Structure formats: C-alpha cells, structure tokens
C-alpha cells in the first residue's frame, strides 16, 4: 500500500514560518494567507484530491518552469483563493505530495499564468 507524505515547497514553508513569527508578534497582516495554507494542508491530509490541470494551460507552464513538475493539481479553497500541488513518487511505496503555492486572489495566479 502506498503511503502519502505531505510537504511544502521551500518558498511556501518559509512563508509559513515568517507568518507564524508575525502572528506571535501580534502582526495579523498575513493571517488570511496563513489560514489558507493550513486549510490546504488539512485538505490534502484528509485524503481529498484537487483537480488535475492540463499541461497545455499557461499556469502549468509557469509551475513546470519554476519547480520542474510533471503533474499539477488545483484546490479551490474559497471563491477567490487557490492552492497548487504536485505528486511525485519517491519509490513504489511512497508518494510525496508537495504544496507549491497558495494564492489569496485570482489576480495573483492569473499573473503568473500570464492570463492578464
């Protein structure tokens, strides 16, 4: 039976750490993003799956170039917010699920996908 292991991309992990520090200091300016990151983690830990995205989409090209991915999934967190993750096989028994990025608004990921 395959085991799923959840990780955050290096940038997202650093953002999470930075926001936790800000929150401890009383700065709540990034609290919304932090909640979305936690929501994404819980979504995947619950065994739920995002929508697979076509390799033909411009947003896929962005993630392919930045992270070297071979598959991409989208999670609709709220009406506006989206999270993106990829799966990679470590070996025949383990699949690594990496949350790449979490965006609070359409504008954030549309810009990266060059939709605007």
Which pLDDT tens digit goes with each residue over 72-110?
999 999 999 999 999 998 778 888 999 999 999 988 878
- Domain CATH for 85: 3.30.2310
What pLDDT does residue 109 have?
A: 77
Cα 36 to its chain centre, rounded Å, is 10
Single pTM value for the model? 0.91
Report phi then psi at 79, rounded to 5: -60, -35
Q: Which residues contact 50 (CB under 8 A, 6 or more apart)?
A: 43, 73, 74, 75, 83, 84, 85
Report phi then psi at 98, rounded to 5: -115, 120
Give tens-digit pLDDT for 19-64: 999 999 999 999 999 999 999 999 999 999 999 999 999 999 999 9
Q: How many domains does the chain have?
A: 1
Q: Which residue has the tokens 């819980």?
A: 42
Full domain range(s) for residue 57: 3-112
What pLDDT does residue 115 have?
A: 66
Q: What is the mean pLDDT of the chain?
A: 92
What pLDDT does residue 34 have?
A: 97
Give tens-digit pLDDT for 52-66: 999 999 999 999 999
pLDDT of 116 higher than 70: no
């Amino acid at each position: 039976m395959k085991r799923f292991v959840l990780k955050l991309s290096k940038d997202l992990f650093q953002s999470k750490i930075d926001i936790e520090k800000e929150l401890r200091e009383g700065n709540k300016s990034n609290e919304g993003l932090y909640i979305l990151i936690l929501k994404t983690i819980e979504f995947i830990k619950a065994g739920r799956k995002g929508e697979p995205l076509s390799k033909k989409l411009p947003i896929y090209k962005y993630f392919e170039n930045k992270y070297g991915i071979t598959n991409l999934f989208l999670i609709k967190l709220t009406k506006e917010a989206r999270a993106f993750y990829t799966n990679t096989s470590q070996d025949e028994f383990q699949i690594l699920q990496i949350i790449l990025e979490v965006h609070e608004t359409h504008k954030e990921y549309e810009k990266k996908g060059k939709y605007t």
